[in-house]
Amino acid sequence: MVKTLDQKNLIKTTSTEYKNLMQILMTNNINILDLVKQEDSEFNSIINKISEGAKSNFLISQILKRCRIIILQEMNGQNLLSYLLYKIRNEVIKAQLSSNIQNLNALKTNNGALPFENLPLFMNPKSYNSELSNLIHAINDFNDRKDELFARKIKNETITNKKIFNDINNLVDIEKINIYINNFNKKLDYPTYKESELFIYKEKYVYMHIFLETTLQIMDELNKKSLEIPIDYNAFIIDSLNNNSSTLNIENESKRKILEMLFKNSRIALIYGPAGTGKTFLANVVSNIFDNFEKIYLSTSNSAIQNLKKKMQARTKHYLVQYLVIFVTKKW
């Protein structure tokens, strides 16, 4: 923390000031952020107690006074400083440091610390995921940043539920969603922030640009990879079904129709549905049909992939460079 404030001298844990500070924090059950936000009279009293018995320097007292000015006067750097004072962890503080750049007022921080300062309820300090419970206590205008909270929810819902499009009816404050989105997007004034823009799709869903864009890029790469196989997928499957139906063991007519339609309009097949609907069965049939091609199995978790691989009966040809891409998931 001393380096963040560009102080040259290091605080010694054996100093009188340090011992007095630790005693005050433990006795009053407060953290350093609580301390610097005390009323003037109480703060000055605490500073006097910290300095009591100290022979010179008064480094800790100077640092606390400086932190207090930055936070109470709402100077640039207040959000990051408040969070670091509330959640003092050396590895978090070190990740924000810069040896020669003063990005946030007089704080020596690197560029990676800037996003959190500007959007503290949505962005994270560099190399650290901030907890909402800590942000509630650390950020002064927490309740005035509902647009950031909304964006945070969309991001977390997308990551947790593996769904790009979030149903508006499942979100809170439905009548304010457009306001939240507009306010949040206006804050994304840096080019690198734009990837987090929020949009409404068909007046029913909210999505974040980066998730849709990344998914489309992945699909594009998969499509390019699938084009390396110089055959008509759909015709190949239908021919295999007609000539090897007994070997493939397809007794269910509905599953046969699914297989016949699987690659009719695309060289990428998405197999999705709840448990027990036959996702693994279909993936296994397709794998057997394309027995002489190497396969890539994609899913939303490693355990699902391992389970899928155990149940696959098809052989894997490692010497071929072509790929058949099979994406198996419960949700899409």
Q: Give me the number of domains the chain comprises.
A: 3
Let me know whether 269 and 308 are in one domain.
Answer: yes
Residues forming beta bridges with residue 327, ordered by sequence position: 270, 298
Last residue of a domain, one of 159, 182, 213: 213
- Average of per-residue pLDDT values in the chain: 83
In the predicted structure, residue 71 carries a pLDDT above the cut 90 = yes
Let me know whether 153 and 232 are in one domain.
Answer: no
Q: Is residue 160 part of a domain?
A: yes
pLDDT tens, 172-190? 888 999 999 999 999 998 7
Let me know whether 168 and 269 are in one domain.
Answer: no
By residue range, what is the domain housing residue 258? 227-329
Q: Is residue 6 part of a domain?
A: no
Q: Is residue 218 part of a domain?
A: no
Q: Is residue 195 part of a domain?
A: yes
Q: Which residues contact 100 (CB under 8 A, 6 or more apart)?
A: 108
Residue found under tokens 């380096």: 3
Let me know whether 133 and 171 are in one domain.
Answer: no
Last residue of a domain, one of 156, 190, 213: 213
- The pLDDT value recorded for residue 314 is 60
Let me know whether 70 and 176 are in one domain.
Answer: no
pLDDT tens, 189-234? 877 789 999 999 999 999 999 999 998 898 888 888 778 778 888 8
Strand 269-272, strand 294-298: pairing? unpaired
Last residue of a domain, one of 162, 188, 213: 213
- The pLDDT value recorded for residue 46 is 96
Q: Is residue 178 part of a domain?
A: yes
Phi then psi for 97, rounded to 5 degrees? -75, 150
- The pLDDT value recorded for residue 169 is 92
Let me know whether 27 and 133 are in one domain.
Answer: yes
Let me know whether 87 and 152 are in one domain.
Answer: no
Let me know whether 205 and 120 are in one domain.
Answer: no
Q: Is residue 71 part of a domain?
A: yes
Confidence of residue 168 (pLDDT cuts 50, 70, 90): very high
Q: What is the rounded average pLDDT of the residues 132-150?
A: 92
Q: Which two tokens stand for residue 205?
A: 């869903």
Which one, of 190, 196, 1, 192, lies nearest residue 96 by Cα? 1
Q: Is residue 7 part of a domain?
A: no
Which one, of 70, 83, 79, 27, lies nearest residue 50 by Cα? 27
- The pLDDT value recorded for residue 100 is 61
pTM across the whole model: 0.75
In the predicted structure, residue 248 carries a pLDDT above the cut 90 = no
Phi then psi for 197, rounded to 5 degrees? -55, 145
pLDDT-above-90 percentage for the chain? 40
Let me know whether 207 and 262 are in one domain.
Answer: no
